[in-house]
Structure 1
C-alpha cells in the first residue's frame, strides 16, 4: 500500500516536465551516489589498516622470538605487505632494533597512506588519509653474554 503510493508519486514526478520536484529527486540521487562511493573508499581505508595491522602483528611475533628488528625482519614485513596487496614503496616502518633481552619492550610502528578517489568527480582531487599502526610486545628470548 505504501509502496504503491511511492511508485505513483514517482510516476507523477517523472511525468511532470519542468517540475521542481524532479530536480529534488535528482539531487537526492546524486547525494546517495556520493555516499555509496564514499563508503567504498572508507572500506578501502579500513582494509588497508587491517592488512597493515596483520603484517605488524606477524612481525612483532618474530621480533619477540628473535629479540628485535633487523633487515631480515624488515624483509618479512615488506613481503607480507606485498602478499596482502599493499604498495610497499609507500610504507614506512620503525621498530626496536636487535638484541633486546627477555622481558624488555618491543615496538613496531608502520604507516602508509590511502588515497580517496570517490570525491575526485566533485573537483576535490585525491584526498590522502594516513594509516598508522603501533604494536607493542615483550621479548621472549634471553641472550647470554659472552
Structure 2
C-alpha cells in the first residue's frame, strides 16, 4: 500500500494539466483586458464624433444625444444594455467658449465570473472643444 503513494508516476501529467489551466486563465484574462480597451476606444470615438457635432451646434441637446446613441449602435454597443450615460454643455454657448462632453458606462469582466465574483469597472471619457458658431 505504501508503494502506491510513494510512486511518482503521473506527476508530470498532473503538473502539465495544472499548467494548462493556469495558462488558460491568463489567456482569458488577457482577452478580457483587450476587450476592455476596445470598448473604451469605441466610447472615445463616439464621444469625439459627438463633440465635432457639438462644436457646430454650440452645445449638447436631445438630437445630438440621439446621434451619440446611434453612433454607439453602429459600433456595436447597445446604449440601453450597456447603461451608457452621457451629458454635455447645454446649447446656446457663444463662440470660443469651452464645450464639455462626459460619458460613462460600466464594464463587467465576464471572464472572471467563474471565480465566484463579478468584477466591474466604470469607463469614463471626457472630451473638450471650443464652440465655433457666433450667436448674435
Q: TM-score range by the shorter chain?
A: 0.7 to 0.9
Aligned to 1:66: 57
Which of 111, 116, 120 aligns to 1:118? It is: 111
What pairs with 1:74-113 in structure 2 (closer than 5 Å)? 74-89=65-80, 90-113=83-106
After superposition, give the CA deviation of every residue in 1:46-82 in whole Å (9 maximum; x if it has no partner).
Answer: 1110111011000000110110000000000011011
2:18 pairs, out of 23, 27, 35, with: 27
Q: Residues 47-62 of structure 1: matches in 2 within 5 Å? A: 47-62=38-53
1:22 offset after TM fit, Å? Answer: 2.6
Single out whichever of 69-78 and 19-28 deviates more from structure 2.
19-28
Normalising by structure 1, what TM-score? 0.82
d(CA) in 2 for partners of 1:73, 1:84: 17
Aligned residues: 128
1:65-114 deviations in Å (ceiling 9; x for gaps): 11000000000001101111112120001100101111100010001111
Once the two structures are TM-superposed, the CA of residue 117 in structure 1 deviates from its matched residue by 1.2
Q: Distance in 1 between matches of 2:46 and 2:128?
A: 13
Q: TM-score, normalised by structure 2?
A: 0.87
* Residues 35-50 of structure 1: pairs in structure 2 closer than 5 A: 35-50=26-41
Structure 1 runs (4+) deviating above 4 angstroms are: none
Q: Where does structure 1 lack aligned partners over 5 or more consecutive residues?
A: 1-15
